[in-house]
Amino acid sequence: RNLISQEDFNFHFKNLRYAKGRRNTFLCYEVTRKDCNSPVSLCHGVFENKGIIHAEICFLYWFHDKVLKVLSPREEFKVTWYMSWSPCFKCAEQVVRFLATHHNLSLAIFISRLYDIWNTDTQQKLCRLVQEGAQVAAMDLPEFKKCWKKFVDNDGQRFRPWKRLRTHFRYQNSKLQEIL
């Protein structure tokens, strides 16, 4: 789908330290071609978990089947993800493999919340993503605003930050930096 409801965005992307009951992962994506000075947006949309298939894997299947066939291997592309949860270690491993075989792609992942950060496998796979060239960062106000504007059925309303968004960002960011 192309847009998230306001309710889903506010519930699933709220960057709480303890996000009880938020089991679904939303992945908002944008694919751009690196053209000289200004990137050209090719496509964007939203994936979410489909049963036991995580949003990242849904994206990789879709990208491989629908998008790669029309992209020139001689051009460079950037994929940007805005995720409600960071990838689990299994998904991170799949993304690492994907990046290792597609050298003309760069990936930036902005996460609202860290998933299973006490698991050493998860920590190692997040580090592997960065080693493979992915940029991994916590979402701050500019990323939430961009998500709201591009991926939420917002009826023309501007993004209203929730209480303690910056405090929660600093927590998520510091934990991510410790891992990386």
* Integer Cα distance of 108 and 112 in angstroms: 13
Neighbours of 21 (CB within 10 A): 6
| CB 4 within 8 Å of CB 152 | yes
| Angle between the N-to-C axes of helices 120-131 and 89-101, in degrees from 0 to 180, rounded to the nearest 10 | 20
Start-to-end CA distance of the chain, whole Å, equals 32
- DSSP 8-state class, residue 96: H
| CB 99 within 8 Å of CB 132 | yes
**47: β partners:** 27
Annotated catalytic residue 56: yes
Catalytic-labelled residue, pool 7, 56, 132, 143: 56
Q: Which residues are catalytic?
A: 56
